[in-house]
């Protein structure tokens, strides 16, 4: 073999060795990067599993949906769905439709805003989730995918509602307390300036005597049973509150005329006599009722002053009755 050929062969082998080494380095680098990605991915999913968050990603061009394990289990859906829009439109499976509607709500929520949705879990439990989405785009602005994130805030919302209820409701009777009912009535008067509503105030006849004779436990029982009677008469749109002691008020946001108010007050007296009986509360009880129609553009102090006069009128007439003043 000539020296030229030998030199060429040697250089060829050298090039091959160098190329092989470069290839091995490239493979090793790729493997290392994949390992880093895998490790990052594993850590990422571990974080998701360790929290109450649920994640999905919708790839727009491929109409493809991918869900984390927790999210798929929560929504009753497979982890990976191709032709998501087609499935969304045509599936008849009730559980899947419920989960798909939840995803659709998250996707169509205001981008990067945090909102809440209510959802029934696959086990039938009612839950509340804080949701957020984010759109990922290419450098040219093309929409690539939408990522949705759900966080279970059911316990947080329940605790907040309980706290708000304690702040808004009367602890003994469960109706609105004095501050809340006043605020709600003031709001109702502003929302209905035309004055088509009515305001009623009532109290228990000789309530101090009931407490003195039968004790405060009986007095508390009378108050709770009176509320039951009032709730049977009032409509779902009416606002019932305890102003303090044995004094209650009812705001009727819209009624046809004074005749309706008169009949309503009659029913209040009748319901109280029926509920406050010796076999139910340990004594016989009655109430005095005053009612007024709300005047156009009237504020709370004015309507309160007039209904207070109406209640006084009932007491002066012997109690266990009602009075309607203009």
Confidence of residue 8 (pLDDT cuts 50, 70, 90): very low
Whether residue 138 is predicted with pLDDT greater than 60 in this model: the reply is: yes
Q: Distance between CA atoms of 198 and 203, rounded to whole angstroms?
A: 17
Q: What is the pLDDT of residues 58-101, one digit of tens each?
A: 988 889 988 888 888 888 899 889 999 898 888 888 888 888 88
Q: What is the pLDDT of residues 250-261, one digit of tens each?
A: 999 989 999 999
Residue of higher predicted confidence among 69 and 243: 243
Mean pLDDT for 140-144 is 86
Confidence of residue 140 (pLDDT cuts 50, 70, 90): confident
Mean pLDDT lowest among 82-96, 130-144, 155-169? 155-169
Whether residue 144 is predicted with pLDDT greater than 90 in this model: the reply is: no
Confidence of residue 3 (pLDDT cuts 50, 70, 90): low
Whether residue 223 is predicted with pLDDT greater than 60 in this model: the reply is: yes
Mean pLDDT for 134-148 is 86
Q: What is the pLDDT of residue 302?
A: 96
Q: What is the pLDDT of residue 50?
A: 58
Q: What is the pLDDT of residue 210?
A: 94
Q: Distance between CA atoms of 277 and 225, rounded to whole angstroms?
A: 10
Q: What is the pLDDT of residues 258-317, one digit of tens each?
A: 999 999 999 999 999 999 999 999 999 999 999 999 999 999 999 999 999 999 999 999
Q: What is the pLDDT of residue 119?
A: 81
Among 228, 319, 222, 230, smallest CA distance to 280 is for 222
226 burial (CB, 10 Å; 0-12 / 13-18 / 19+) is: buried
Confidence of residue 174 (pLDDT cuts 50, 70, 90): very high
Whether residue 7 is predicted with pLDDT greater than 60 in this model: the reply is: no
Q: What is the pLDDT of residue 125?
A: 82
Q: What is the pLDDT of residue 26?
A: 62
Mean pLDDT for 229-251 is 96
Whether residue 238 is predicted with pLDDT greater than 90 in this model: the reply is: yes
Per the CB < 8 A criterion, the answer to whether 204 and 244 are in contact is no
Quick count: other Cβ atoms within 10 Å of Cβ 324?
Answer: 21
Q: What is the pLDDT of residue 120?
A: 80
Mean pLDDT lowest among 127-141, 219-233, 265-279, 293-307? 127-141
Q: What is the pLDDT of residue 38?
A: 55
Q: What is the pLDDT of residue 209?
A: 94
In SS3 terms, 129-194 reads as EEEEEEEEECCCCCEEEEEEEEEECHHHHHHHHHHHHHHHECCCCCCECHHHHHHHHHHHHHHCCC
């Amino acid at each position: 073999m000539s020296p030229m050929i030998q030199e060429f062969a040697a250089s060829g082998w050298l090039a091959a060795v160098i190329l092989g080494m470069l290839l091995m380095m490239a493979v090793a680098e790729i493997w290392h990067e994949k390992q880093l990605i895998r490790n990052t991915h594993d850590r990422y999913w571990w974080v998701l599993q360790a929290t109450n968050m649920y994640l999905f990603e919708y790839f727009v061009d491929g109409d493809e949906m991918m869900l984390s394990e927790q999210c798929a289990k929560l929504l009753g859906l497979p982890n990976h769905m191709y032709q998501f829009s087609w499935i969304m439109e045509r599936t008849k499976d009730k559980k899947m439709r419920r989960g798909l509607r939840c995803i659709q709500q998250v996707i169509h929520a205001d981008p990067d805003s945090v909102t809440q949705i209510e959802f029934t879990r696959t086990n039938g439990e009612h839950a509340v989730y804080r949701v957020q989405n984010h759109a990922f785009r290419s450098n040219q602005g093309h929409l690539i995918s939408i990522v949705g994130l759900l966080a279970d805030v059911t316990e947080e919302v329940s605790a907040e509602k309980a706290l708000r209820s304690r702040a808004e409701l009367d602890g003994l009777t469960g109706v609105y307390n004095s501050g809340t009912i006043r605020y709600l009535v003031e709001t109702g008067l502003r929302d209905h300036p035309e004055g088509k509503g009515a305001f009623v105030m009532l109290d228990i006849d000789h309530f101090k005597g009931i407490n003195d004779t039968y004790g405060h436990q009986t007095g508390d029982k009378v108050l709770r049973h009176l509320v039951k009677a009032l709730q049977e008469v009032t409509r779902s749109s009416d606002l019932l509150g305890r102003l303090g002691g044995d004094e209650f008020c009812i705001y009727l946001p819209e009624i046809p005329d004074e005749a309706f108010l008169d009949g309503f007050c009659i029913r209040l007296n009748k319901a109280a006599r029926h509920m406050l009986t010796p076999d139910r509360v340990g004594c016989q009880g009655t109430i005095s009722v005053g009612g007024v129609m709300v005047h156009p553009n009237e504020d709370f102090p004015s309507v309160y002053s007039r209904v207070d006069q109406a209640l006084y009128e009932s007491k002066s007439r012997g109690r266990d009755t009602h009075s309607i003043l203009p």
